[in-house]
Amino acid sequence: MNENFNVSSSPHIRDRISTGNIMLMVVIALLPATVFGIWNFRHEDAWILVVVTTAAAVLSEYIYEKLMKKPVTVNDLSAVVTGLLLALNLPPTLPWWMGALGAVFAIVVVKQLFGGLGQNFMNPALAARCFLLICFAGRMTYFVYDGVTGPTPLAELKAGQAVNTMDMLVGNIRGTIGETSVIAIMIGAMFLLLMGVIDLKIPGSYIISFVIFITIFGGHGFDTQYITAHLCGGGLMLGAWFMATDYVTSPITGSGKIIYGICMGLLTGLFRLFGGSAEGVSYAIIISNLLVPLIEKATLPRPFGKGGEK
Amino acid sequence: MNKCTERIFNGLVKENPTFVLMLGMCPTLAVTTSAINGIGMGLSTTAVLIMSNMLISILRKIIPDSVRMPAFIVVVASFVTIVDFLLEGFVPGLYDSLGLYIPLIVVNCIILGRAESYASKNPVLPSVFDGIGMGLGFTVGLTCIGIVRELIGAGQIFGKQVMPDSYEPLTIFILAPGAFFVLACLVALQNKIKHHLAKKGNEAPQAAGCGEGCASCAGRGICGGHLVSDTKKEEEGA
B213 domain residue, yes or no: no
Domain span at A259: 19-298
Hey, are the CB atoms on B170 and A135 less than 8 Å from each other? Answer: yes
Report yes or no on B206 lying in a domain: no
B22 in any annotated domain: yes
Nearest of B6, B2, B1, B13 to residue B136 by alpha carbon: B13
Searching chain B, which residue's CA lies closest to the CA of residue A137? B171
Q: How many domains does chain B have?
A: 1
**pLDDT tens readout for residues A258-301:** 999 999 999 999 999 898 887 889 999 999 999 999 999 998 88
B162-B167-B171-B173 Cα dihedral, nearest 10 degrees: -50
The verdict on residue B227 lying in a domain is no
- Please check whether residue B26 lies inside any domain of the structure: yes
State the alpha helices, DSSP H only, in chain A. Answer: 19-40, 46-67, 78-88, 96-104, 124-135, 137-140, 153-158, 165-170, 182-195, 201-217, 224-232, 236-238, 254-274, 281-298
**Segment A50-76, tens digit of pLDDT:** 999 999 999 999 999 999 888 888 888
A142 interfacial to chain B (CB closer than 8 Å): no
Mean of per-residue pLDDT scores for chain A: 88
- State the count of interchain CB pairs (< 8 A) between A and B: 17
pLDDT value for A56 = 94
Query: A134, B177: Cβ pair inside 8 Å?
Result: yes
What's the pTM?
0.81
**Is A136 close to B168, i.e. CB distance below 8 A?**
yes
A137 min Cα distance to partner chain B (Å) = 9
Total of domains in chain A: 1
| Chain B residue whose CA is closest to A110 | B181
- Domain membership flag for residue B33: yes
Cross-chain Cβ contact A131/B172 below 8 Å: yes
User: Which residue in A68, A113, A134, A286 has the most chain B C-beta atoms within 10 A of its own C-beta, making it the best mutation to test that interface?
Assistant: A134
Assigned domain for A211 exists: yes
A12 in a structural domain: no
The domain spanning residue A67 has which CATH number? 1.10.3430
Ramachandran quadrant class, A301 (left: phi over 0; alpha: psi -120 to 50; beta: rest): beta
B89 pLDDT exceeds 80? yes
Q: Which domain holds residue B143?
A: 3-200
Cα–Cα nearest to A164, from A229, A239, A111: A229
A103-152: per-residue pLDDT in tens? 999 999 999 988 888 888 899 999 999 999 988 888 888 888 877 788 88
Residue A307 domain-assigned (yes or no): no
Hey, are the CB atoms on A135 and B177 less than 8 Å from each other? no
Which DSSP state fits A300?
A: P
Find, among B236, B14, B233, the residue nearest to B136 by Cα.
B14
| A304 found inside a domain | no
Residue A274 falls within a domain, yes or no? yes
- Residue A104 C-alpha, separation from nearest chain B C-alpha, in angstroms: 14
| Residue A305 domain-assigned (yes or no) | no
The 10s digit of each residue's pLDDT in B137-195 is 999 999 999 999 999 988 888 888 888 888 888 888 888 888 999 999 999 988 888 88
Q: Residue B207's pLDDT is what? A: 46
Scanning every residue of chain B, which has its alpha carbon at the shortest distance from the alpha carbon of A130?
Answer: B172
Chain A hits for B172, Cβ within 8 Å: 131, 134-135
Domain assignment present for B118: yes
Closest chain B residue by Cα to residue A97: B168
Over residues A33-38, the mean pLDDT reads: 92
* Whether A171 contacts A183, CB under 8 Å: yes
Query: Per the domain annotation, does A306 fall within a domain?
Result: no
